[in-house]
Amino acid sequence: MDDLICEVAKKHDADADLLRQLIDYEQTKVHLERRRGAKDELCRFLEKHIEEKDK
Amino acid sequence: MSFHFRRLRLKDWLVYGGETEIELPDFDKGRNLVVVNGQNGFGKTSLLRGLSFVFDGRGSRADLIELWNERARSSKEGSLEVGIEFLHAGRVCKVIRGAHFKPWGDTVSVTPWVKLLIDDREEADQVADKIEELLPQDCLEFVFFDGAEISRYAQKQHQAGVREAIEKVLGVPAVRNLRHDLDRLINDLEDEQEGLLSSSQQAETLVREIEELKDEQEKYQERRRELVEKKQSLEETKKELEAEAEGIEAIERERNELQEKLGRRASLGERRSELDSGIRQLIAETPLALLEQPLQQVVEELRAKQQPSGRKDRLVAQIRVLRDLLETEAEHCLCGRDIDDEARNKLSGELGRIEKLVGESQSQSEGAMTDLLDLSALLKSISARKREPEELIDKRAHIDTQLEELETDIARLRGQLEGHELATVKELYEQIGQITRQIDEKKDQIETIDRNIERNRTVLIQKQRELDEIGAGNEQARGVTRTLAAARKMLAAVSELVDRLIEQKRTGIEDRATEIFRQITNKPMEYEGIRVNPDYTLEVVRKDGSVVENTKLSAGEKEVVAYSFITALNLSSRDPAPFVMDTPFGHLDSGHRAGLLRSLPKLDVQAILLATDRDLPADERDAIDGSICREFTLRRDQPHATTAIEES
């Protein structure tokens, strides 16, 4: 799985660590019928990642 | 260390009255088997239901009362409880679930409760969600199962919801949800970006063009989905027709076999009629047998009369001498007297009379000889006929058996041939040809649409970049635009990840299932392994690459396929859970059972086997002795109607 994440992230110029974080986040919500706030949470992950990249 | 159970506690749970607790050793590869021996009705299934109850917990008030031990229930007040301690992802987890019961008028009030402790700290909120995260309800059927569950799974591969449950076990839904959530986020961000750039004429035009491209893209995708569905349906029809065409040859063979059997039946029928009339004739001639003895006597007497034939011959010779003497005109008799004409005439007359008498005697003797021969033949025939009826009846019975077998075969063949009379290989291959052409057309159409989608996508990305450039120049929209760009890259990566992950998992399960299947099957020289199709239906593949039709597999073989798949599925999940198997050998013969038992120590998980002495006979249990880390026996206290678990 890890190798696969790295491979697709590289191919699409995305950050593998960020992708892993997002999957882990979704994993904690997978058993819930409604994933309230998931969209906003993902947005925060992305913004935080951009911020850290800018530093 | 892998996910494994360490302790199980039951209180007034089904057949387990009072408190019962067992401890299990830590997981040790190769010594991973826990055996619980128990006779029917002693509580094996209650144990399995206890484990499911801890992780599932669904059930009505009435269900809970039903689960409460019968003796405890009679007091109308008390509680039931099932607790399990296990190691999961390096943490010690305890899930304890139960219910309090109190009298409430004529009935009983029920208060269910559940506790979750992780590393000895009780979780205060979202307990149900956290338990679900440890072992999802949808996955329970793949880790706690009985023989009936395997049989059911062997039948229900195509049912809706199975695919979802399987992908949940594999961890696919998390990635799929991420794709869905990212898509929604991108839509929101695009709307936000559009709002922020609304003052720019150029941006407005780009937004409109992007929207149009997206609509067009959506239509292409929709059309593509339709074409793919049609193509799949045509491919399925083609597969069915090909199978039917293959079957036609078999049908032709069956038809010839039927003709041959009908011919044989007719000839046997004729032979039987002949035997029938023979038997009837013999029965009519039965009285002849009574003549056998008297006839025997007559024949013997005639034979005796035939004995003196030498005397007659001598008489004839003497007559011939006398005649010669008379004809030579001898003048003196042998006694010395003269022989005159008168004497010569007298002698000649006497010789004539004697010759006549001898002649008559010879004729009588020849008649007697004919009679003797006739009677001997009749006697022989009667003696022979004494044995004939038995032989004929035996032959007729043999023919009856053959006819009976033929009738069964003919009925079977007629049944198999029913409805196949009109089909011909030629017609079928014409249909297959037509369908193949339609499939090729659909493929071409899909390829054209794919090219359009790709072209549109390139244009869309270009337009979005142009818009992003405008956004980057806009102070307010810059942040949104950057987040949007990152989200789009992430979405592209996640979309590919979902497809690749499913394919990777599917082939992974296929390999594992094949490995397990080959350890168990009793036809390792014939079967190559299991094929897991994209919809998770299963097929057995022969060494030559051909597929065994599901209907050709026996119930036991289907169970082995289902067990191999379930096991492979669990082992391919993120956190393989312990297996708990309640009498899983329903239709398995001893060969399959031995294979399954041999495969258990090779699993990378704790395996708890709940077995009767029939499931695990002493010799088979001894064969896996080295892999058993702990063994228990269910003891039934019959007078008190309760069961206890004792370590063996």
Provide the β-strand partners of residue B628.
Answer: B33
Cα A7–B568–B530 angle (5° rounding)?
Answer: 95
Beta-sheet strand order (sheet of B16-23): B16-23, B4-13, B78-88, B91-104, B107-118, B121-122
Four-residue CA torsion sign, B531, B535, B538, B540: negative
- Given a contact cutoff of 8 angstroms between Cβ atoms, the answer to whether B61 and B110 are in contact is yes
Nearest CA among B513, B498, B514 for reference residue B571: B513
- Given a contact cutoff of 8 angstroms between Cβ atoms, the answer to whether B509 and B517 are in contact is no
**Which amino acid does the sequence have at B210?**
I
Residue B359: φ, ψ to 5°: -60, -45
Which chain A residues are within 8 Å of B116, Cβ to Cβ? none
Which chain A residues are within 8 Å of B177, Cβ to Cβ? 26, 29-30, 35, 38
CB pair distance less than 8 Å for A46 and B487: yes
Across the interface, of B174, B487, B496, the residue whose CB is closest to A8 is B496
CB under 8 Å to B371, separation ≥6 — which residues? B302
Position A19 scores a pLDDT of: 93
Contacts 24+ apart (CB under 8 A), B206-212: B206/B463, B206/B466, B206/B467, B206/B470, B207/B467, B209/B463, B210/B460, B210/B463, B210/B464, B210/B467
- Residue B5 above 60 pLDDT? yes
Least confident of B42-56, B318-332, B477-491, B555-569: B318-332
Q: Does B470 touch chain A (CB under 8 A)?
A: no
pTM for this prediction:
0.57
Nearest chain B Cα distance for residue A47, angstroms = 6
> Average pLDDT in the B51-70 region?
89
C-alpha distances in Å from residue B151, one per residue of B426, B508, B529, B556: 40, 23, 19, 9
Position B293 scores a pLDDT of: 66
CA–CA distance, A38 with A46 (Å, rounded to integer)? 12
Q: What burial class does residue B530 get, using C-beta atoms within 10 Å of its C-beta: 0-12 exposed, 13-18 middle, 19+ buried? A: buried
* Greatest mean pLDDT range, A8-22, B147-161, B543-557: A8-22
CB pair distance less than 8 Å for A39 and B185: yes
Nearest chain A Cα distance for residue B134, angstroms = 10
> Average pLDDT in the B406-417 region?
84
Please write the tens of the pLDDT for every residue from A41-50.
999 999 999 9
Position B127 scores a pLDDT of: 87
CB pair distance less than 8 Å for B493 and A29: no
CB pair distance less than 8 Å for B497 and A8: yes
- Given a contact cutoff of 8 angstroms between Cβ atoms, the answer to whether B42 and B119 are in contact is no
- Residue B13 above 90 pLDDT? yes
Nearest chain A Cα distance for residue B113, angstroms = 20
3-state helix, strand, coil in chain B (%, to 5): 65, 15, 20
Cα B71–B74–B76 angle (5° rounding)?
Answer: 125
Position A10 scores a pLDDT of: 93
CB pair distance less than 8 Å for B486 and A28: no
Name the interface residues of A facing B (CB cutoff 8 Å).
1, 4-5, 8-9, 11-14, 18-19, 22-23, 26-32, 35, 38-39, 42-43, 46-47, 49-50
Torsional class of B605: left (φ above 0), alpha (ψ -120 to 50), beta (otherwise) = beta
Q: What burial class does residue B557 get, using C-beta atoms within 10 Å of its C-beta: 0-12 exposed, 13-18 middle, 19+ buried? A: buried
Please write the tens of the pLDDT for every residue from B368-403.
667 767 766 766 776 666 666 778 888 888 999 889
> Average pLDDT in the B439-454 region?
93
Q: Does B617 touch chain A (CB under 8 A)?
A: no
CA–CA distance, B19 with A52 (Å, rounded to integer)? 56
CA–CA distance, B550 with B530 (Å, rounded to integer)? 12
How many beta-carbon pairs below 8 A join chains A and B? 88
Across the interface, of B178, B188, B496, the residue whose CB is closest to A22 is B178
Nearest CA among B555, B594, B508 for reference residue B170: B508
Position B361 scores a pLDDT of: 67
User: Mean pLDDT score of chain B, rounded to an integer?
Assistant: 83
Q: Residue B588, Cα to own-chain centre: how many angstroms? A: 10
Placement of tokens 């008379």 in the chain:
B326
DSSP string, B444-481: HHHHHHHHHHHHHHHHHHHHHHHHHHHHHTSHHHHHHH
CA–CA distance, B70 with B56 (Å, rounded to integer)? 22
Which chain A residues are within 8 Å of B493, Cβ to Cβ? 8-9, 11-12, 14, 19
Position B307 scores a pLDDT of: 56
Nearest chain A Cα distance for residue B410, angstroms = 58
- Given a contact cutoff of 8 angstroms between Cβ atoms, the answer to whether A26 and B168 are in contact is no
Nearest chain A Cα distance for residue B487, angstroms = 7
Taking CA atoms, what residue in A is nearest to B167? A30
Which alpha helices (H) appear in chain A, and where do they start and end? 2-11, 16-29, 38-54
Please write the tens of the pLDDT for every residue from B250-304.
777 788 888 899 999 999 999 999 988 888 877 776 666 666 666 677 667 766 7
Position B386 scores a pLDDT of: 61
Residue that wins the pLDDT comparison between B178 and B307: B178
Q: How confident is the model at residue B567 (pLDDT cuts 50, 70, 90)?
A: confident
Please write the tens of the pLDDT for every residue from B110-157.
999 999 999 999 988 888 888 887 887 777 777 787 766 666 666 655
Please write the tens of the pLDDT for every residue from B227-249.
998 998 898 888 888 877 777 76
- Residue B449 above 90 pLDDT? yes
Four-residue CA torsion sign, B424, B427, B428, B429: positive
Question: Strands (DSSP E) along B469-606, which ranges?
Answer: 527-532, 538-542, 547-548, 579-582
Position B144 scores a pLDDT of: 80
Q: How confident is the model at residue B82 (pLDDT cuts 50, 70, 90)?
A: very high
Q: How confident is the model at residue B585 (pLDDT cuts 50, 70, 90)?
A: confident
- Given a contact cutoff of 8 angstroms between Cβ atoms, the answer to whether B137 and B58 are in contact is yes
CB pair distance less than 8 Å for A35 and B177: yes
Position B362 scores a pLDDT of: 64
Provide the β-strand partners of residue B99.
Answer: B80, B112
- Residue B50 above 90 pLDDT? yes
In chain B, residues 174-193 whose CB comes closer than 8 Å to chain A: 174-175, 177-178, 181-182, 184-185, 188-189
Position B606 scores a pLDDT of: 92
Taking CA atoms, what residue in B is nearest to A18? B490
